[in-house]
Structure 1
Amino acid sequence: MTMSLTKPAMRGLLAKRLRFHLPIAFGLSLIAAIAFKYAVTEPRNKAYADFYKQYDATKEFNAMKEAGIFESVRPSGE
C-alpha cells in the first residue's frame, strides 16, 4: 500500500496570501497612524499652544539682552 502526498497548491499562492494579509496590514497601519496622532502629536500641539498663550517674546528678549547673550545689543545700563 503506497501513500501519496497531495501536491502543494503553488498556482495563485501569492495572490491568495495577499488577499488575506493585505487588508490586515492596511488595518494595522491605519490603527498605528491614529494611535500616533492621538498619543504623540495632539499632546505636543496642546503643549505648544499652552506655552505660547503666556509667552512674551519681548520680555524674553530683554532678559537675554541683560544677560549679555547678544553681541550686537548693549545692555540698558551701558
Structure 2
Amino acid sequence: MSSALLAKPQMRGLLASRLKKHLVVLSILSLGIIVGFKFGVSEPRKRAYAEFYKNYDFAKEFEAMREAGIFQSAPPKGS
C-alpha cells in the first residue's frame, strides 16, 4: 500500500526535461550579466575616456614627454 502512494520516477526524457529548464535559467542569467556589465563597466568607462580626452592637449603632453627625455628621436629643446 505504501508503494501506491509514491510517484514513479521519470525514466524517459529526464535529461531533455532538465535541459529545457536549465537552458531557460542560463539564458536569463546570461542576459542579466551582459546588461549588468554593459551598464556597470562599459558605459562608465566610455564616459571616463570621453571626459579625459575632452580637455586633453596632445601637443602639451608631447612637449612634456620630450622635455623628460622619453623620446630618442626627438631631443629636448635647446639640445
TM-score norm. by structure 2 comes to: 0.85
Q: Aligned pair 1:14/2:2, yes or no?
A: no
- Residue 53 of structure 2 corresponds to which residue in structure 1? 52
- Residue 35 of structure 1 corresponds to which residue in structure 2? 36
How many residues are treated as equivalent by the alignment? 77
Q: Cα RMSD over matched residues?
A: 1.6
Distance 1:6 1:25 in 2: 29
Query: Post-superposition shift, 1:3?
Result: 5.5
Distance 1:72 1:17 in 2: 65
- Structure 2: gaps (5+ residues): none
- Structure 1: gaps (5+ residues): none
Q: Which amino acid aligns with 1:36?
A: F
TM-score norm. by structure 1 comes to: 0.86
Distance 2:20 2:76 in 1: 70
> What SS is found at the alignment partner of 1:42?
helix
- Residue 77 of structure 1 corresponds to which residue in structure 2? 78
| Identity score, percent | 57
Distance 2:7 2:32 in 1: 40
